[in-house]
Amino acid sequence: MRKMLSLLRRCVEDYEMIAQGDRIAVGLSGGKDSLALLSVLAEMRRFYPYKYEVCAITLDMGFPEADFSPLAEFCKKIDVEFILVKTDIAQIIFDERKEKNPCSLCANMRRGALSNAAKDNGCNKLALGHHFDDVVNTFMMSLLYEGNLSCFSPVTYLSKSDITVIRPLIYVPESHIKGFASHMSLPVCKNPCKADGVTKRAEVATLINNLRKENKDIKAKLFGALCRSGIAGYKEPQIGKRRKFFTEEEQ
């Protein structure tokens, strides 16, 4: 917990993600990333200098096998309000539109549903569980498949819903999250999506991991290049001024 708290808090402070009186909705999918984010944000309430509230919003995508009871029980355990929102996203994407490459549309629909639910439940911020590896993979996907230098932003204001989206885990490598989820026995749920694990994102992650065999610091270098570029609100991490940012031992 200490390492996770340290990296998350540094990110929050670098990008001024949390202010006094915020009510933050965490998009809780049941995956390790969103569960870790919720767990650490809930813990940080105890000592962070700005007082804030946390609630969890889970979207029922419409997959018949989904079971949300472990998430509800976990939220009760850490004193966080659990909100379940029913949607027909799965039906629209797979049954009606029969999307061959559904991930982009699905992500947009989920973000829209989450931001609307957050606003409806009195929240001014929505926290998503994108981590360090997600940043690197998205940056590379944009370069390789679109020919652009871009990535999602650490902080984004959505004017239509009057919600600010924050991503407090972007300093946290996925390996940390995996270890944290195991150590804390988080109730990680299997992703019921038909496209899970067969996406371009998974292909890019494999490519980068293969490149690491000869260049162990490649993820840190890619992340550093993104931060120095000023793309989408990124900036040089304060953590990098004190020591090498994400050494091989940390990854």
Cα separation, 87 vs 95, in Å, equals 14
pLDDT at 12: 97
pLDDT at 246: 53
Cα separation, 136 vs 239, in Å, equals 18
Q: Any idea what the Cα angle at residue 25 is, between residues 185 and 81, rounded to 5°? A: 65
Cα separation, 84 vs 71, in Å, equals 10
List the chain pLDDT tens, one digit each, 251 residues: 889 999 999 999 999 999 999 999 999 999 999 999 999 999 999 999 999 999 999 998 878 778 899 999 999 999 999 999 998 887 888 777 766 667 777 888 888 899 999 999 999 999 999 999 999 999 999 999 889 889 999 999 999 889 999 999 999 999 999 999 999 999 999 877 666 656 788 889 999 999 999 999 999 999 999 999 888 899 988 765 544 555 444 44
As beta bridge partners, residue 82 has: 56
Please give the structure tokens belonging to residue 32: 């390790």
Cα separation, 124 vs 161, in Å, equals 9
Q: Alpha-carbon dihedral of residues 5, 6, 7, 11, nearest 10 degrees?
A: 90
Please give the structure tokens belonging to residue 21: 């009186």
Cα separation, 1 vs 37, in Å, equals 11
Which domains are seen in the chain, by residue range? Answer: 2-241 (3.40.50.620)
pLDDT at 102: 72
pLDDT at 52: 98
Q: pTM for the complete prediction? A: 0.90
Cα separation, 81 vs 196, in Å, equals 28
What is the Cα gyration radius of the chain? Answer: 18
Read off the DSSP letter of residue 158.
E
Phi, psi for 18 (deg, rounded to 5): -125, 135
Closest CA to 219 of 166, 174, 168, 152: 174
Q: Buried (b) or exposed (e) across 201-234, using 16+ Cβ within 10 A? A: eeebbeebeeeeeeeeebbbebbbebbeeebbeb
42 and 79 in contact (C-beta within 8 Å)? Answer: yes
Cα separation, 59 vs 161, in Å, equals 17
Give Cα separations from 242 to 7, 115, 238 (angstroms). Answer: 13, 36, 7
Close Cβ partners of 237 (under 8 Å, ≥ 6 residues apart): 10, 11, 14, 171, 227, 245
Close Cβ partners of 184 (under 8 Å, ≥ 6 residues apart): 1, 36, 39
